[in-house]
Amino acid sequence: MNSHRHQTRTVALLGAGGIANAHLPVWLELGFDVVVFSPADDAPALVARHGGGAVAASLDEALDAADLVDICTPTPTHHELAAAALSHRLPTICEKPLTRHADDAEDLVRGFSEAGIVLFPAHVVRYFPQYEALQAAVVRGDVGRPGVIRLTRQGGSPRSGWYLDDALSGGVVLDLMIHDIDIARWIGGEVSTVFARTNRVGASQSTQAVLTHEDGAISLLTSTWTTAPIEFRTQFEVAGSDGLIRADSDERRPFRYVGLREPEYDILPPYDPITSPYRAEIVDFLAAVDDGSVPRVTARDGLHALRIAEAIAASVADGRPHDLTSIRTMEGATL
């Protein structure tokens, strides 16, 4: 922590686009001071929209004022910004994916670990109540031994240019499917092999991936961006030796907002603000920083999700299954 720390801590919120609209209100509600820096010059609008926070003129100004860092910028900037936070020895929460490339994530995980500083990948789906309940049920043995895990996620194709450039965003796999990759591993354990296909029609793309877990379970993942007029939707089903658990976001919505739609909010899935998963993940991050507790999702979890995502992308590219066992064994020896 910085030597100037006072009773009210300061968060450097980097980025002021879509997901920052879910993070900033939480920090304000928790009583933190927030300084926002965005190279896109949209920080003043974010601060005005939520009625709190100050705008920093530069990255250095934001980091110098901070006790904690929250990275909400586009994917290709994550590595550089997290490295800057590490150089300032600042605990950091970073939106998924942790970095654009897994090797960069491995460097960050090692660096933060060696420095004894928390690096937290914001895989928020672990904090949505239905997925939290699913994982707890599997751990309790409600379905017996999981055999087949089906995870589906669909939404409108992004309108921002960088999302549609696979070199920058990683496409639907790294932006959307990464959530279900993390959940599949959380539910089914380590992944040994992957096989995947992607279909593209204009700005629409859909990827299907088959993940074979080390204990024999199979996960079937489908993630879709489409220009068709659909709503965001998620589904899961876990079939095991003793039972089945399923959920569909369309079947029960405890909270629904109908009204003005703004581009800043369009990328956010529906969620209940009373039990906000974004609040839950930030509180978990803070517990790791303040108490040294192990968070629900760790930096290594973020790295493993990226490794699996890259194997899926490689399978899409060459049409072959890809093995992850050797990569994970090598990482286990170096991290």
* Per-residue model confidence (pLDDT) at position 333: 59
Q: Are residues 163 and 305 in the same domain?
A: yes
The radius of gyration of the chain from alpha carbons, rounded to an integer in Å, stands at 19
Token pair for 110: 């090692």
Q: Which of 122, 113, 25 is nearest to 78 (CA)?
A: 122
Enclosing domain of residue 42: 10-124
CA separation for the pair 101, 79 (Å, rounded): 9
* Per-residue model confidence (pLDDT) at position 255: 47
Q: Are residues 182 and 310 in the same domain?
A: yes
Confidence at 7, pLDDT banded by 50, 70, 90? confident
Checking phi first, is residue 262 left (phi over 0); if not, alpha (psi -120 to 50) or beta? beta
Domain boundary among 105, 124, 143: 124
- pLDDT single digits (tens) 76-96: 999 999 999 999 999 999 999
Unique residue bearing structure tokens 């040294």: 292
Question: What's the pTM?
Answer: 0.90
CA separation for the pair 205, 197 (Å, rounded): 10
Q: Are residues 218 and 190 in the same domain?
A: yes
Residue 288 lies in a domain: no
34 bridge partner residues:
11
Q: How many CB atoms lie within 10 A of CB 262?
A: 9
CA separation for the pair 46, 34 (Å, rounded): 12
CA separation for the pair 285, 297 (Å, rounded): 9
- CATH number for position 150: 3.30.360.10
How big is the chain, counted in residues?
A: 335
The residue that leads in pLDDT, 4 or 226, is 226
Q: What is the mean pLDDT of the chain?
A: 90
CA separation for the pair 97, 77 (Å, rounded): 11
- pLDDT single digits (tens) 140-184: 999 999 999 999 999 998 877 788 788 888 999 999 999 999 999
Domain boundary among 124, 157, 178: 124
Q: Are residues 112 and 198 in the same domain?
A: no
Q: How many CB atoms lie within 10 A of CB 115?
A: 12
Q: Are residues 319 and 209 in the same domain?
A: yes
